[in-house]
């Protein structure tokens, strides 16, 4: 067995291995107390995939083909409906020495069921779909959530308003953010838009993870110089890369971010900006060969120039990250999550970068490839924005060849 990593799971993925895939049918996934979540039974998964995308509020969707006998099963059949039922999915590895390990790759509701003589296909969405669907039916604002005096807590309250028993947590950066909610804050009809706006204004994002828990975490440009890659996608005989295509595309990419806080209860908002410099990026910088391409953002919670400037810098980091991307096909690693940093190496193309996962597809069948869209990892320094320094992670025995 290859011994690149300090753990047997990642090392096993690099060699020929036998996979395990299974599913579970659940009812009332988000409930507790008088109506606890109930596991109905196991599902025999035949094929399918889990599609993941950071740009979507519902980040993970699943298309799953199961044994059609489940429909006639006295226990499973009555609960194979889109009315309160959901599934969990797992993909793992059998170790040559015995035993194995599996990773949970999906938790979510059943949206639809397609049935034929040969197969039953489940269309599923992660737990964020419940929040997205729950639009505001009347005027809503911060005054409706008086205990949420901080922006992070108001975002959490909007989730718990829909799913009172949901597990909602912050990462350390968001937990330390004490931006207060602006008096008079109001929302439009879309709850998801309100959550997106609140999270963005504290330089964060929200999502439901693979276990159904909700996270409010700092954006990937908050990656630091100490961030280690969790996976190495490399070419060569010992590598896990199957194919690669690099893209540099200016479509929709700005090199100047202008932020203005919406004036609530006052005569003016708080302005801020960040113009990408030549030191940040020798090709993308403001008033250079790329020209002047502004992008504008407004928010009710951006109430000081310092907050506006900090947000503009983070959003500029997003622009820098997106202009250079790599599409890869590689050996499946079910432990990967959106936003994870990986190191991508292809010596023939002189490609060696730290990148984060923007989107990916995890297949459920054997002998299938994993696909990932990767954006370059950008770190914020006191003087500007830079590409993340190269590293391999603790305990990893690998070097570019």
Residue with tokens 């959106």: 338
**Which pLDDT does position 89 carry in this prediction?**
98
State mean pLDDT over 78-93. Answer: 96
- Kindly compute the dihedral angle of the four CA atoms of residues 26, 30, 35, 41, in this order, to the nearest 10 degrees: 10
Last residue of a domain, one of 291, 322, 353: 322
Last residue of a domain, one of 218, 238, 270: 218
How confident is residue 262, by pLDDT bands cut at 50, 70 and 90?
Answer: confident
Please give the residue range of the domain that contains residue 371.
221-249+323-387
How confident is residue 296, by pLDDT bands cut at 50, 70 and 90?
Answer: very high
Question: Both 211 and 230 in a single domain?
Answer: no
**Which pLDDT does position 117 carry in this prediction?**
76
How many separate domains does the chain show? 4
Residue-averaged pLDDT of the chain: 92
At residue 130, does pLDDT exceed 80? yes
At residue 318, does pLDDT exceed 70? yes
pLDDT tens string 150-205? 999 999 999 999 999 999 999 999 999 999 998 888 999 999 999 999 999 999 99
Question: Both 177 and 108 in a single domain?
Answer: no
The CATH number assigned to the domain holding 376 equals 2.40.30.150
**Which pLDDT does position 32 carry in this prediction?**
65
**Which pLDDT does position 91 carry in this prediction?**
97
In SS3 terms, 95-147 reads as CCCCCEEEEEEEEEEEEEEEECCCCEEEEEEECHHHHHHCCCCCCEEHHHCCC
**Which pLDDT does position 167 carry in this prediction?**
94
At residue 267, does pLDDT exceed 70? no
Question: Both 26 and 115 in a single domain?
Answer: yes
DSSP state of 396: -
Question: Both 232 and 353 in a single domain?
Answer: yes
At residue 221, does pLDDT exceed 80? no
Residue 60 burial class via C-beta count within 10 angstroms: exposed 0-12, middle 13-18, buried 19 and up: buried
Question: Both 162 and 235 in a single domain?
Answer: no
**Long-range contacts of the stretch 14-17 (C-beta < 8 A, 24+):** 14/238, 14/240, 14/331, 17/93, 17/94, 17/96
Q: Is residue 398, in this structure, part of any structural domain at all? A: no
The size of the chain, in residues, is 401
């Amino acid at each position: 067995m290859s011994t690149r990593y300090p753990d047997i799971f990642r090392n096993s993925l690099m060699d020929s291995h036998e996979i395990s895939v299974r599913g579970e049918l659940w009812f009332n996934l988000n409930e507790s107390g008088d109506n606890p979540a109930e596991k109905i039974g196991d599902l025999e998964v035949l094929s399918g995939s889990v599609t993941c995308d950071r740009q979507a509020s519902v980040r993970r969707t699943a298309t799953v083909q199961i044994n059609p006998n489940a429909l006639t099963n006295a226990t499973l059949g009555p609960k194979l409906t889109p009315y309160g039922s959901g599934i969990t999915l797992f993909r793992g590895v059998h170790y040559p020495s015995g035993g194995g390990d599996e990773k949970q790759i999906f938790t979510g509701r059943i949206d639809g069921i397609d049935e034929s003589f040969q197969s039953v296909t489940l269309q599923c969405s992660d737990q964020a779909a419940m929040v997205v669907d729950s639009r505001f039916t009347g005027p809503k604002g911060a005054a409706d959530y008086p205990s949420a005096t901080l922006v992070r807590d108001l975002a959490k309250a909007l989730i718990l308003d829909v799913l009172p028993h949901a597990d909602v947590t912050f990462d350390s950066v968001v937990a330390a953010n004490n931006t207060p909610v602006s008096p008079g804050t109001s929302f439009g009809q879309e709850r998801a838009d309100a959550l997106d706006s609140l999270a963005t204004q504290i330089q964060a994002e929200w999502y439901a993870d693979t276990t159904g828990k909700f996270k409010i975490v700092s954006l990937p440009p908050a990656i630091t110089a100490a961030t280690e890659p969790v996976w190495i996608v490399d070419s060569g005989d010992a590598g896990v890369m199957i194919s690669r295509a690099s893209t540099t595309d200016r479509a929709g990419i700005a090199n100047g971010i202008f932020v203005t806080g919406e004036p609530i209860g006052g005569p003016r908002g708080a302005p801020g900006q960040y113009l990408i410099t030549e030191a940040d990026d020798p090709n993308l910088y403001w008033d250079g060969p790329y020209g002047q391409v502004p992008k504008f953002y407004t928010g009710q919670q951006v109430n000081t120039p310092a907050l506006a400037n900090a947000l503009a810098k983070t959003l500029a980091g997003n622009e820098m990250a997106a202009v250079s991307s790599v599409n890869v096909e590689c050996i499946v690693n079910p432990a990967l999550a959106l936003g994870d940093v990986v190191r991508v190496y292809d010596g023939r193309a002189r490609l060696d970068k730290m990148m984060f996962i923007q989107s990916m597809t995890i297949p459920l069948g054997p002998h299938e490839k994993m696909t990932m869209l990767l954006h370059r990892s950008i770190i914020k320094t006191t003087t500007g924005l830079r590409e993340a320094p190269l590293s391999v992670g603790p305990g990893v025995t690998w070097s570019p060849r």
